[in-house]
Amino acid sequence: MLAYPDMDILSACRTLFGPNSDVSTEFLLTLKPHIIKTAFRKKAKETHPDLFTAHDPVVQKKQTEQFRVVNEAYEIMRKYFERRDRFRAPAPRRPAASTPSFRVDEAGWRYRGTVPARRLEIGRFLYYRGRIPYRILIKALAWQMRQRPPFGTIAKQWGWLNDGTIRAILSHRGQPLLFGERALQLGFLSSHQARILLAYQRTLQKRLGRYFVEHGHLPHDEMEHLAAELRRHNARYPFPR
């Protein structure tokens, strides 16, 4: 029986590739072990406690915890690959045009295949169109996230969280979840509050398309053309209820 990814595996993959990475079941079932190993090595270098020996003990403790989470995530993914590849049945052959695959060029890891039949945001649409490599998508999402105030800061300003609850959320040990997901899990926020906070937070960030133009990945005219193509694509799929 094929080992389909569960929540632990999805969380582990987001730890290694980034919290906003598209880690759908289809993505994980085509993911190669050497790709996850490369992502792990990069993340381990970024979080290794030896890089922070000159910092104060609080920062050192935080980095040690992050390094532990990264190592646990890689171990989860390694075991997932073992189960997946042991029990996977040969897949029926499909026409090459509809078979998702990946290629690596000088710019990075690019998707080749059909665009998923669902609503997409601009970054993932450009990735699935093969116009940007995966690492550029992750960089763009990280850039966009830096433009907006932290989730907890907004919640505190609105009186929904305080310093004590924020510390409890940040210090909570468990799955590598985003701040809002931890707050939900611990019962400090309701799902309604979390949705409102996330929607407001997103209004404060820059449009993702600006990153690809300003950093020279796409010319402005092509970006406008692809944005129009995305609108036509999304018009075929209604918003989920």
Which domain-ending residue is among 75, 91, 107? Answer: 91
DSSP at 1: -
CB 15 within 8 A of CB 43: yes
Q: How far apart are CA 62 and CA 57, in angstroms?
A: 8
Q: How far apart are CA 144 and CA 138, in angstroms?
A: 10
The region of weakest confidence among 42-46, 85-89, 152-156, 157-161 is: 85-89
Total domains, the chain: 2
Average pLDDT, the chain: 79
pLDDT tens, residue by residue, 108-121:
567 888 888 888 88
| N-term to C-term CA, the chain | 32
Q: What are phi and psi of 104, to 5 degrees?
A: -115, 125
Question: Whole-prediction pTM value?
Answer: 0.46
Domain assignment present for residue 86? The answer is yes
pLDDT tens, residue by residue, 158-175:
999 999 999 998 888 766
Query: Nearest CA to 39 among 21, 18, 16, 19?
Result: 16
DSSP at 218: S
Q: How far apart are CA 28 and CA 84, in angstroms?
A: 10
Q: Up-side HSE of residue 44: CA atoms within 13 Å toward CB? A: 12
The region of weakest confidence among 31-35, 56-60, 83-87, 116-120 is: 83-87
DSSP at 88: P
Domain assignment present for residue 100? The answer is no
- Whether residue 192 is predicted with pLDDT greater than 50 in this model: the reply is yes
Domain assignment present for residue 99? The answer is no
∠ CA 180-182-186, rounded to 5°: 120
CATH number of the domain encompassing residue 66? 1.10.287
Identity of residue 215: H
The whole-number pLDDT of residue 100 equals: 52
Domain assignment present for residue 37? The answer is yes
Q: Which domain holds residue 2?
A: 1-91
Which domain-ending residue is among 68, 91, 114? Answer: 91
Domain assignment present for residue 96? The answer is no
Same domain, 153 and 86: no
The whole-number pLDDT of residue 34 equals: 85
